[in-house]
A and B are shown apart, each in its own frame.
Chain A
């Protein structure tokens, strides 16, 4: 990606909004706009055409899911716009809705994650360039949900762990580092997952996303 990443922030808490701006500017992002509600977000994205939008799920006026609604609309209207949902709670339903047809350029993080600045910034960059960034908490809940429905049960415990990190958007090298195993072993697990989920051979990057979607769907 050429040049700094352009960000629009939608967060109704002024304290957090200012904090995010401070953090992102410090890390050489360009904060095109920082707004406090969903309508302002829609206008701002139209105007500023950012690479990625950080969107709080709960915003005025109803404080339920207007952030999510706006994000779904923006996904339809702006191809290639990355969306990082930002929330104090994980709602499985929201995650499933968000990831329903395409997990690329989607993130869903708990607000706590900004405390680990580097990881947060990395996740944001990944989403901006079309990757995925799901909070470990989101993964746990989604895995829990799909474990109940059964399709995930074809995977071994280690394969599930690998899939969790894939869902977070990590590369094979990063996954190998996390479990202290060789990249070759990770490769083998990933291939097994693809086989068990019956995913076609081509476009291995895209297959990773499909694998994640497969267990999200279930």
Chain B
């Protein structure tokens, strides 16, 4: 009983699936996507053939003329053309296939005619376009034989019975699979009907080889017409560098502000009080000793405050504890934290100073956040080594709800922290469900 019920269920599932396949096959020839892919196959192939012909011809001309130096300029122009054709291909892929390929970097020639030639000859994007054109022409040739031929033969089979001739013109893939006898008028009788039915079948088969060829083309375009791995890397490095420059400019501004509002003001007030004392002492006849003592007390207090402010500021620029090593510096941080904090450090190798500094400021910032926002009763810091990476895990048992997006907009300490981490290709991850606990994981390369 159970067995048969199961079998029925399976067959139901199978039925649903078969229905779905049948529906897909029935509809596909008439979808917009199929039309666009066919158009891309035809127009793209023609464009690639013309483009490759242009490139090969101009390159050949350039090579012939290379002794006259004009040759190099012609090859340069040829490469500029290749780049343009690549752009057109990419544009067409976006319009017809909805395939969005990222733009490679713009052509940025050096100044002067020689600079232009040099830049044009070294333009990786252009050479990759040439490579694409060469492969694409090969693909177009195969595509005509496998994908386009099915469409052509389908139309031929559909039209021939109605007066287009005795035997349909059939080439390419269908030619290989269809026995020639089937299409021959010698089979007599139902010949015309048979050819027509073959045409109808081919219409429903035709979209699929086209789709395969276009998919291969998509892969080629992604690999050769987008930015290459090197330029993607350069872009991300440029971005990281800009962030680092901004962050250090912001740091300098903060330090200037702290000095201006804090220490400098303290020292001016101190000098002013000492000036008053000096002038009072210079006039012994009208000396009010109590007043002088009060001024000296104020000056003394101001000097001590200025010393404390300077020390805090200096520690914010470079914590002296780091000179001993990360472990010692982190244990100072853990001890100073208002939330009781456990510390585990297990590092085999000593990171470079820049990494130690970033790790230190990450922990300092995260502990400050724990103290300010998390309402936690305990926190822990784990600092471990995984191959060439240093992993910091700062955990607290507070209220949670911190989000990585919190790091985004503001110029808070946390976003500065993220910039610092990204600047050395590090990663930062925050897991902080409402109710807590919050776990922040920072991975940094040991050497940067």
Contact = CB atoms under 8 A, between A and B. Distances in A.
Interface of A: 12-13, 15-16, 18-20, 22-23, 26, 58, 63, 88, 111-112, 114-118
Contact of A19 (B260, B261, B273): B273
A20 B279 CA distance: 16
Interface in B271-308: 271-276, 278-279, 291, 302
A114 B275 contact: yes
Given A15-B302, A23-B276, A63-B257, A114 B271 contact: yes
B contacts with A: majority SS? helix
A23 B274 CA distance: 11
Contacts of B278: 117
B265 A15 contact: yes
A94 to B, nearest CB: 16
A118 B278 CA distance: 11
A89 B302 CA distance: 22
Interface string B301-324: 010000000000000000000000
Contact of B266 (A15, A23, A112): A15
A117 B257 contact: no
Contact of A117 (B261, B272, B302): B272
B268 interface: yes
A118 B260 contact: no
Contacts, number: 47
Given A15-B302, A19-B273, A117 B264 contact: no
A117 B269 CA distance: 12
Contact of A88 (B264, B272, B273): B264
Contacts of B265: 13, 15-16, 111
Given A58-B260, A63-B257, A88-B260, A16 B268 contact: yes
12 contacts: A12-B261, A13-B261, A13-B265, A15-B269, A16-B265, A19-B269, A26-B291, A58-B260, A112-B271, A114-B271, A115-B271, A115-B274
Contacts of A15: 265-266, 269, 302
B257 A114 contact: no
Contacts of A12: 261
Contact of B268 (A22, A111, A116): A111
Contact of B275 (A58, A63, A115): A115
Contacts of A13: 261, 265
Nearest to B302: A15
A26 B276 contact: yes
A118 B275 CA distance: 9
Interface of B: 257, 260-261, 264-266, 268-269, 271-276, 278-279, 291, 302
A116 B264 CA distance: 17
Q: Which 3 A-B pairs have the closest CB atoms?
A: A115-B271, A13-B265, A19-B269
Contact of B272 (A63, A115, A118): A115
Contacts of B274: 115
A88 B256 CA distance: 12
A117 B260 contact: no
A132 B264 CA distance: 26
A53 B443 CA distance: 55
A114 B272 CA distance: 5
B268 A112 contact: yes
Nearest to B259: A88
Contacts of B276: 22-23, 26, 117
Contacts of A19: 268-269, 272-273
A12 B264 CA distance: 13
A117 B268 contact: no
B272 A23 contact: yes
A12 B260 CA distance: 11
A19 B299 CA distance: 10
B269 A16 contact: yes
A149 B68 CA distance: 54
A120 to B, nearest CB: 8
Given A26-B276, A88-B264, A114-B271, 9 more contacts: A13-B261, A15-B302, A16-B269, A18-B269, A19-B273, A23-B276, A111-B264, A112-B268, A116-B275
B279 A114 contact: no
Contacts of A118: 279
A88 B260 CA distance: 8
A22 B274 CA distance: 13
A112 B291 CA distance: 22
A15 B305 CA distance: 11
Interface centre among A26, A114, A115 (most CB of B within 10 A): A115
